[in-house]
A and B are shown apart, each in its own frame.
Chain A
Amino acid sequence: MLLQSCGMVLAIEAVNLVKEFGSFRAVDGVNLKVEEGVIFGLLGPNGAGKSTTIRMILGLLKPTSGYVKVFGIDVEKNRRGVLSITGYMPQHFSLYEDLTVEENMRLYASLFGLKGKAAEERIRELMDEFVLWEFRSRLAGKLSGGMKQRLALAVALLHRPKLLVVDEPTAGVDPPLRRYFWEKFRELKCRGVTILVTTHYMDEAENCDRIALMSRGRVAAEGTPLEIKRLAFGGDLVELVVEGDPRPVLDGYGARLVEFEGDGSYSRIRLLVPDASEALVPLTRMLEQRGVKVVRAYPLPVGLEDAFIRLTTGR
């Protein structure tokens, strides 16, 4: 709301998106707002409706109801306008396996209206960037999985899109390449590209600026990874190792005790606080003041996976 009042255009605005396949509701009222210049992650298990949602965003599927705007352009009304500023890397390799790397790139350069020297230069540039030059005359079908992915990303970027939509780029990809991809995404972000990425790897989603958790066709939660975790647990977790039993001292203090483990002389406690970075110092000071010696105090990293399970199942 604030953004719109400032006159800034959202990269993606999806409103009440619904997609039904027969009697099955794959997407059930999804609302998304993606600001320009962020990496936005669409998370959720397989079958949560992520791919269907992005296909509607790209105009590959017609929504049963609701609408999508990309940089203010209505996707169903002016799909061409959207395509010229959007790059898409589908989940499955979708280039022509019976064409070479170079032929695929040339084809798509032409389709996107790149001509002559400009096309030549852009293709060379991307081939260098994605280490495809030495494989340029190889048939795309003969490439390894990783090379196929690099080619697909290069093709998606040919026309310098403002928005890059990537569906499960890291599914079945080895860890070095996964890291490579995320580095690339951050690099693209620095160049001002907005990225919408779906994944079911929760650990990867920490790389996103904002994420939306999808479950059974709905957005279960949305925010920064930190916000999501706080939402799931009701705050941040901090762990302290102290001498003695600090429980009587903690009564009445604004922190909830989640876990306690003590052997009489030392205790390990986990506390839920609204913000770990702000709470840790006052908490330690308070305990010391009341005569509890703090051995160690640190914020406890929580995975998004835990947060996700908590948010979708309530456990």
Chain B
Amino acid sequence: MGPLIALVAKDVKQLLRDPRSLTMVLLMPLAVMAMFVAGYGEERSEVPIVVVNLDRGSISWQLIESLRSSGAFKIVAYAATMEEGTELVRKGVAYAAIVISEGFSDSILSGQSTRIVTVLDAAYATVSELVWQSAVIATQMFMKKASELYGTFYIDVERQTVYGPKVSSVDSFTSTIMGVLLHLVPMSLIAVSISRERERKTFEQLIMAPVSSWHIVFGKFIAYALVTVADMIVTMAFAVYALGVQVRGPLPALLAVSLLMLLCSLSIGLLISAASRNQLQAYQAAIFVFIPSMLFSGFFMPVELLSPTARLVGRVLPLYYFLKAFRNIQLRGWTLADVSQECAALALETAIFLAAAVRVLRLKVE
């Protein structure tokens, strides 16, 4: 027992003597929970939808009211035709279009069955399911209420998809997995690179040569990019050719977006590396950066459906832009030009993080 207690005491002491790491360890659960509550705590997550009302009567408006008051939807547009509504979903303005068919009011009044059509965005499977379920429930509520007034009738809720009919779970998770790989792996790999040189003392010799922090930062950036880009291409090729992951847009566009994400992750990692004193701190910081990325970049749920704070946080995260661009290319078949904004955001962030790393890196020993 003696040696065990001595070893426990030693390790506890060692942990307590690195205040920076300790702060991160203690702060992490708190920060993560706070972030989670801030982002996901609010009950209402209203999915933006388009309503296409082909009915000329007034009862359809009661259904629309019922949809609105369900709290599940936010009606962002009204479209005149089904094609127009579908196009808005296709463009990503709304996640679904709810189409109320012609003669809706008449059918109800005459006690016949009628239908509404939900046009779902299959590219976002979780949201589609949510929309579908909420639409069915809201319609049922409406039927219950309306039947007291108009007698028995029946509304059939029909399901259509764009980018569908159904995206397999492998396809829909590819973006998430690529996101994790492209964010966490290069970032944590490069995050320890400078602190490792500090710990092994090679940094002390290196900065005795006439090199600037610019040289050191870009030297690492380019070297790690060359090595990890090979990894990225292999992963992608494995997904597409071995697992048969479907890519609707151009593959080079997908590669370009992935490359931008990779470079951005490396630049974040470098900033961490430049600011950390030892490898443990660097590793912790990398994880610390990754958690909000996971929560607020659209891993589980599109950021638009979270709280305003979360949306704001999401706008800062490179992973948010990556997931958006990647999904749009892979599942919606968009081209690079369609996701140019996201690409620009990634490139800009990369530049900012690199510049910050150059500034933060001190050519001194402690």
Contact = CB atoms under 8 A, between A and B. Distances in A.
Interface of A: 55, 58-62, 79-80, 83-84, 86, 88, 90, 92-97, 108, 111-113, 155
A55 B208 contact: no
8 contacts: A61-B365, A79-B363, A83-B210, A88-B208, A94-B201, A94-B205, A111-B209, A155-B205
A285 B11 CA distance: 72
Given A94-B204, A96-B202, A83 B209 contact: yes
A88 B364 contact: no
Contacts of A111: 206, 209-211
B355 interface: no
A249 B206 CA distance: 66
B207 interface: yes
Contacts of A55: 365
A60 B204 contact: yes
B199 to A, nearest CB: 11
Closest 4 pairs (CB-CB, A-B):
A111-B209, A94-B205, A94-B201, A88-B208
B201 A90 contact: yes
A94 B209 CA distance: 13
A58 B363 CA distance: 11
A94 B198 CA distance: 10
Interface of B: 200-202, 204-211, 363-365
Contacts of B209: 83, 108, 111-112
Contacts of B205: 88, 90, 94-95, 155
The prevalent SS among residues of A at the interface is loop
A93 B365 CA distance: 15
Contact of B210 (A84, A88, A97): A84
B198 to A, nearest CB: 11
Nearest to A152: B205
Contact of A83 (B201, B202, B208): B208
B216 to A, nearest CB: 11
Contact of B204 (A90, A97, A155): A90
Residue from B201, B204, B207, B363 with most neighbouring chain A CB atoms (10 Å): B204
Given A61-B364, A61-B365, A112 B210 contact: yes
Contacts of A86: 208
B61 to A, nearest CB: 73
B30 to A, nearest CB: 28
A80 B364 contact: no
Contacts of A60: 204, 207-208, 364-365
Given A111-B209, A112-B209, 15 more contacts: A60-B204, A60-B207, A60-B208, A60-B364, A79-B363, A80-B210, A84-B210, A88-B205, A90-B201, A94-B204, A95-B202, A95-B205, A97-B200, A113-B210, A155-B205
B360 to A, nearest CB: 16
A61 B366 CA distance: 7
Residue from A97, A111, A113 with most neighbouring chain B CB atoms (10 Å): A111
A83 B207 CA distance: 9
B194 to A, nearest CB: 14
Nearest to B208: A88
Contacts of A90: 201, 204-205
Contacts of B210: 80, 83-84, 111-113
A24 to B, nearest CB: 13
A113 B208 CA distance: 13
